């Protein structure tokens, strides 16, 4: 870090104080110069991304290290970077995006960027603050309740099949009494046997774990997703119409296609999923609804596209 650049970031003599203060924040914070070279990276950024300061300071964020994506799947580091925008117009910018953790999973974050100015008002760089945007507090409370009630899958620490079945029956009852629509997503990890056979069961376990974490981030806080069994997940999506359910399924596919896990030699193993999306129908049992979603998921495996049943 060059001294002439640092003097506009942390005032001389106060840098240790400010660094200690920023490192205590739960949010991730980093500074860049006009060329988008990373000058500072706090402990909160490490906790959210898995990358330490020594791995990133001095590198250019245009290298797309964190692979920021918006909900439409656009790569922001190449197309609509909030840091570039804030240095261009001098305004604050905010966006809900997904970054890629060092371990390969997708993490939803709220990004806030604003310009950094020299004493004479010239924009010399930008600061980005990003925070966990996956309703982690609610997830943590629900996780603790699940652990007490033995409704948690031992590998993924997600809801297990027993809990999903109970949630599904509750959603079905609410639909029958109050007409509240809901749907299910039947999700299968593609090529899981090949991952196990080629890279070992430990790597296969990591693939299931990271896939589950990415699915939690892809869906809404009000949705329930858990491990149905083996390499299969099930999501129960409340208050949703057919097109929105299809959109959520597509988001899951898009994010998992950009998720990877490291093999024993450190090389990334890409992953993908097949998804079947089924909206509940009148006079339908929970078993019939899941079977319809399963059928659509297997059709996706052969046709490679998500569709509404009416299509």
Check residue 267 and give its pLDDT: 85
Under 8 Å between Cβ of 210 and 233: no
Q: Token digits for 23?
A: 């490192």
Label residue 282 left, alpha or beta by phi (over 0 means left) and psi (-120 to 50 means alpha): beta
pLDDT-based confidence at residue 16 (cuts at 50, 70, 90):
low
Percent of the chain with pLDDT over 70: 86
Mean pLDDT for the chain overall: 86
Check residue 123 and give its pLDDT: 94
Under 8 Å between Cβ of 278 and 296: yes
pLDDT-based confidence at residue 24 (cuts at 50, 70, 90):
confident
Check residue 19 and give its pLDDT: 66
Could you tell me the sign of the dihedral formed by the alpha carbons of 36, 37, 42, 43, in that order? positive
**Higher per-residue pLDDT: 100 or 186:** 186
Looking at the predicted structure, is the pLDDT value of residue 303 above 90?
no
pLDDT tens for each residue of 111-122? 999 999 988 889
Task: Name the packing angle between helices 161-178 and 286-303 (round to 10°).
Answer: 110
Percent of the chain with pLDDT over 90: 54
Check residue 159 and give its pLDDT: 93
DSSP code of 274? E
pLDDT-based confidence at residue 304 (cuts at 50, 70, 90):
confident
**CA–CA dist 129, 82 (Å, integer):** 11
Closest by CA position to 50, among listed 264, 225, 210, 231? 210
Looking at the predicted structure, is the pLDDT value of residue 293 above 90?
yes
Check residue 141 and give its pLDDT: 66
* Tokens 């033995």 belong to residue: 150
Angle at 266 between CA 264 and CA 267, to 5 degrees: 105
**Higher per-residue pLDDT: 38 or 140:** 38
3-state secondary structure at position 98: strand
Stretch 278-299: mean pLDDT, rounded? 94
pLDDT tens for each residue of 217-276? 999 989 999 999 999 999 999 999 999 999 999 999 999 988 888 888 888 888 999 999
Distances (CA, A) of 122 to 114, 160, 251, 298: 13, 55, 40, 57
**CA–CA dist 241, 271 (Å, integer):** 28
**CA–CA dist 198, 222 (Å, integer):** 37
pLDDT-based confidence at residue 138 (cuts at 50, 70, 90):
low
Q: Report all structural domains of the chain as residue ranges with CATH numbers, in order of start.
A: 3-132 (3.30.450.20), 136-303 (3.30.70.270)
3-state secondary structure at position 108: strand
pLDDT-based confidence at residue 8 (cuts at 50, 70, 90):
very low
Closest by CA position to 218, among listed 242, 247, 241? 247
DSSP code of 174? H
Q: Is 86 exposed, middle or buried (0-12, 13-18, 19+ CB in 10 A)?
A: buried
**Higher per-residue pLDDT: 148 or 30:** 30
Check residue 81 and give its pLDDT: 83
Check residue 4 and give its pLDDT: 42
3-state secondary structure at position 99: strand
Stretch 63-76: mean pLDDT, rounded? 82
């Amino acid at each position: 870090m060059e001294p002439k650049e640092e003097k506009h970031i942390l005032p001389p003599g106060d840098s240790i104080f400010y660094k200690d203060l920023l490192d205590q924040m739960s949010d991730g914070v980093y500074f860049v110069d006009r060329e988008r070279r990373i000058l500072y990276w706090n402990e909160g950024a490490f906790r959210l991304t898995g990358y330490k300061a020594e791995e990133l300071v001095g590198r250019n964020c245009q290298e797309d290290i964190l692979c920021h994506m918006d909900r439409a799947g656009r790569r922001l580091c190449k197309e609509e970077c909030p840091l570039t925008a804030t240095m261009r117009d001098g305004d604050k910018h905010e966006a809900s995006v997904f970054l890629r953790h060092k371990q390969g999973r997708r993490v939803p974050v709220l990004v806030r960027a604003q310009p950094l100015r020299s004493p004479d008002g010239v924009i010399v760089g930008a600061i980005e603050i990003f925070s966990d945007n996956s309703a982690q507090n609610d997830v943590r409370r629900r996780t603790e309740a699940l652990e007490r009630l033995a409704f948690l899958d031992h590998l993924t620490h997600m809801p297990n099949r027993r809990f999903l079945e109970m949630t599904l029956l509750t959603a079905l009852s609410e639909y029958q009494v109050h007409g509240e629509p809901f749907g299910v997503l039947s999700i299968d990890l593609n090529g899981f046997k090949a991952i196990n056979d080629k890279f070992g069961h430990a790597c296969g376990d990591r693939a299931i774990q990271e896939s589950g974490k990415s699915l939690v981030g892809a869906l809404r806080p009000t949705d329930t997703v858990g491990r149905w069994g083996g390499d299969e997940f099930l999501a129960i999506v409340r208050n949703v119409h057919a097109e929105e359910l299809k959109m959520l399924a597509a988001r899951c596919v898009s994010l998992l296609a950009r998720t990877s896990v490291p093999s024993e030699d450190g090389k990334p193993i890409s992953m993908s999923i097949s998804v079947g999306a089924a909206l509940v129908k009148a006079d339908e049992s929970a078993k019939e609804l899941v079977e319809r979603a399963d059928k659509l998921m297997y059709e996706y495996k052969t046709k490679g596209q998500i569709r509404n049943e009416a299509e």
